[in-house]
A and B are shown apart, each in its own frame.
Chain A
C-alpha cells in the first residue's frame, strides 16, 4: 500500500501541513528538534491509532490547541481509502474511513499497515527478555486472535499457580490440574511462536547479510526454558509440546514450590542473537546490534506481506546514525521499489549517491516542510 498524501492540523509542532509522498522513497532532512520524527509519528498514528512515543494522545495536540486532525489518502491495490483521525482534549479520538465514522478502533486499524524502525528498537536486543517475548506476542497476535486468547488464559493460570505455590499446604493433585492447564495453553503458544520464529530467523538473517555485506552471519535462536534440542523444538507437534511442558513442570515442581514461582514455560523463553556464533547481546558493537534490530523490523515487512499480500509502509526514524558507511550504503541499496519508505536523517548530501531511485526530499525546519524536488 502507498500513502499518497498526509494532512496534519495542530499536530505536535505543525500548525497545518500538507505533503505528498512518492510511492518509493521519501526523505525528511532537518536538524534535531525540527519535527522529522513528528511527521513520521503521524503516519504511524494514522495506521495504528497509537503513538509509538506516548500513550497519552493529548500530547499530540499542538500546544495551546484543543483539537488535532490527521488525514491521509492510502492507495491499496484495489481501491483508495481516505483515513482521518481527530484527537480532542478531554474527549478522546474519533476515526473515519472514506468519511464514514468508525466507532471501534480495532475495525479501523489495518487500512494502513506500517512498520516502524526507531532508535528505541535497540531495546529489542539490549532490553529484558520480556521485551522480546512481547515482540513475538504482538507480531503473532496481530494475525491470530486465538493466540491472544491462549496467551491470556496462560497468564491467568500462571498467576493462579504462582499464588498457589505460596500457600502452606500444597494439594499436589490441584497442582497437577494447574500444570495440565498451563500445558494446554502453553503448547499452543509454543507451537505458534516456533512457527513464526522459523520464518523470522530465515528472513532476518538473510536481510542482515545484505546490510552487513557478508561480513558476519546472524543466527537467531529460540531459547526455550524447556531445554529441548533445537531439532526437536522445531518439529514438535502441539501434543509433543503439551507433553514436554507437562513433564517439565512436574520435574521442576520441587524447585517451584521452594521458590514459590513457576520456573519453566513460554513465559521464561527468550530470543538469542548470534553473530558468527558469538552472543551479539554481549559482544556485538552498537552498530551490529542496531543492524540486528533493523533486520528484525525489515523481516516484519516480509512476514506481513506473506499474510496480506500487500506491502506495508516502512518508516525509518534516524536509522542511519551509528551505521558505518558500508552498512548505510547497503541498507539504502537494498531498498526496493515495492515498499514505500519514509526516512528521516540529519544530513543528506553524503548519501545522495547511494539511492537507486531519486527520492522525494523534504526539508524540515521548525514545523515547516519545504519540498526539494
Chain B
C-alpha cells in the first residue's frame, strides 16, 4: 500500500495536534505547504516559534504580552480604580473591543475545574491578591467577568469569598438577552435569567 512520504506524514501529524483538524484537513494543509515558496514556509515556521519565544506573561495582570508589563498595565490613561477579572487572554480582547471598559485587567489563565485537575492554585489567584494588597491599592471595584458556566461561576464565587477582607466593591457581569435579538428567539433559560436580573427604569 502506498502511503505519504515520511516528511508529509510528519507534518500532517503535527497539524492534527491542532484543535478541529482531522486527517483529511491535515493532508490538505500539508500539500498546500508544499506549494508555498520556501520564504513563506520560513515565515510561517518563524511565526510559530515566535509565539513561544517572544511572548511572556505580564508581571502585573498575567495577560500574555511581548513586553512585561503589558501595554494596558503601562497605560497611564487607564482607570486604576476598576479591575476586571477574566479567564483568559481572548476575553481581554473581547472586552477591549467594546471600547466601554477603561480599567485594568487580571487574567486568571483558566477556571476552577476539579474534573480537569484545575484547582485555585493552578490559576493566577495569588497574583491577584498580592496585586490588590500592594501595587494596585487604588482599586475600588473588582468586576468578576468569568464565563457563565459551572466552572466560571464557581471561580467567581470562590474569588468573591477571597476578596471579602479587602472591603472592595465586588460585582459580577450580568446575564441575559443578546442585544438586537427578539424575545421570541431567546431560549427559555436565558429569558428566565434575564427576568431574574431585571432592573427598574
Whether B188 contacts A146 by the Cβ 8 Å rule is yes
Whether B113 contacts A181 by the Cβ 8 Å rule is no
Whether A180 contacts B157 by the Cβ 8 Å rule is yes
Among B114, B157, B187, B188, contact of A181 (Cβ-Cβ < 8 Å): B157
Whether A157 contacts B150 by the Cβ 8 Å rule is yes
Chain A CB within 8 A of B112 CB:
yes
Residues of B within 8 A of A163 (CB): 114-115
Chain B CB within 8 A of A177 CB:
yes
Whether B114 contacts A161 by the Cβ 8 Å rule is yes
Whether B161 contacts A173 by the Cβ 8 Å rule is yes
Whether A156 contacts B150 by the Cβ 8 Å rule is yes
Whether A174 contacts B150 by the Cβ 8 Å rule is no
* Cα-based distance from A178 to B158 in the complex (angstroms): 9
Chain A CB within 8 A of B153 CB:
yes
Residues of A within 8 A of B157 (CB): 177, 180-181
Interface bin, chain A: 20 to 34
Measured CB to CB, the closest approach of chain B to A98, in angstroms, equals 21
Among A145, A167, A173, A180, contact of B114 (Cβ-Cβ < 8 Å): A167
- A145-B188, A149-B189, A161-B114 in contact; A167/B154 too (CB < 8 A)? no
Interface bin, chain B: 10 to 19
Among B112, B188, B192, contact of A174 (Cβ-Cβ < 8 Å): B112
Whether B189 contacts A174 by the Cβ 8 Å rule is no
Chain A CB within 8 A of B22 CB:
no
Chain B CB within 8 A of A321 CB:
no
* Cα-based distance from A189 to B180 in the complex (angstroms): 32
Residues of A within 8 A of B161 (CB): 173, 176-177
Measured CB to CB, the closest approach of chain A to B140, in angstroms, equals 24
Whether B158 contacts A160 by the Cβ 8 Å rule is no
Whether B115 contacts A174 by the Cβ 8 Å rule is no
Measured CB to CB, the closest approach of chain B to A173, in angstroms, equals 6
Chain A CB within 8 A of B71 CB:
no
Residues 99-157 (chain B) with a chain A CB within 8 angstroms: 112-115, 119-120, 150-151, 153-154, 157
- A145-B188, A146-B192, A163-B114 in contact; A174/B153 too (CB < 8 A)? no
Whether A145 contacts B119 by the Cβ 8 Å rule is no
Whether A181 contacts B158 by the Cβ 8 Å rule is no
Whether A145 contacts B189 by the Cβ 8 Å rule is yes
Who on chain B is nearest to A150 by CB? B189
* Cα-based distance from A54 to B157 in the complex (angstroms): 43
Residues of B within 8 A of A171 (CB): 119-120
Chain B CB within 8 A of A153 CB:
yes
Whether B188 contacts A160 by the Cβ 8 Å rule is no
Residues of B within 8 A of A176 (CB): 161
Residues of B within 8 A of A157 (CB): 150, 154
Measured CB to CB, the closest approach of chain A to B155, in angstroms, equals 8
Measured CB to CB, the closest approach of chain A to B124, in angstroms, equals 16
Chain B CB within 8 A of A159 CB:
yes
Interface string of A161-190 (1 = CB under 8 A from B): 101100100010110111011000000000
Residues of A within 8 A of B162 (CB): 173
Residues of A within 8 A of B192 (CB): 146, 149
* Cα-based distance from A60 to B147 in the complex (angstroms): 43
Interface core residue of B113, B150, B151, B153 (most chain A CB under 10 Å): B150
- A146-B188, A167-B114, A174-B158 in contact; A181/B150 too (CB < 8 A)? yes
Interface core residue of B114, B119, B153, B162 (most chain A CB under 10 Å): B114
Residues of A within 8 A of B114 (CB): 160-161, 163-164, 167
Whether A174 contacts B120 by the Cβ 8 Å rule is yes
Interface core residue of A160, A161, A176 (most chain B CB under 10 Å): A160
* Cα-based distance from A156 to B113 in the complex (angstroms): 10
Measured CB to CB, the closest approach of chain A to B156, in angstroms, equals 9
* Cα-based distance from A180 to B150 in the complex (angstroms): 12
Who on chain B is nearest to A153 by CB? B150
Selected A-B contacts with CB under 8 Å, 7 pairs: A146-B189, A146-B192, A149-B192, A173-B161, A173-B162, A174-B154, A177-B158
15 further A-B pairs in the complex, CB-CB below 8 A; given A149-B188, A171-B120, A174-B120: A145-B187, A156-B150, A157-B150, A160-B113, A160-B114, A160-B151, A160-B154, A163-B115, A167-B114, A167-B119, A171-B119, A173-B162, A174-B119, A176-B161, A177-B158
The 8 closest A-B pairs by CB, nearest first: A164-B114, A145-B188, A149-B189, A163-B114, A156-B150, A177-B158, A177-B157, A163-B115
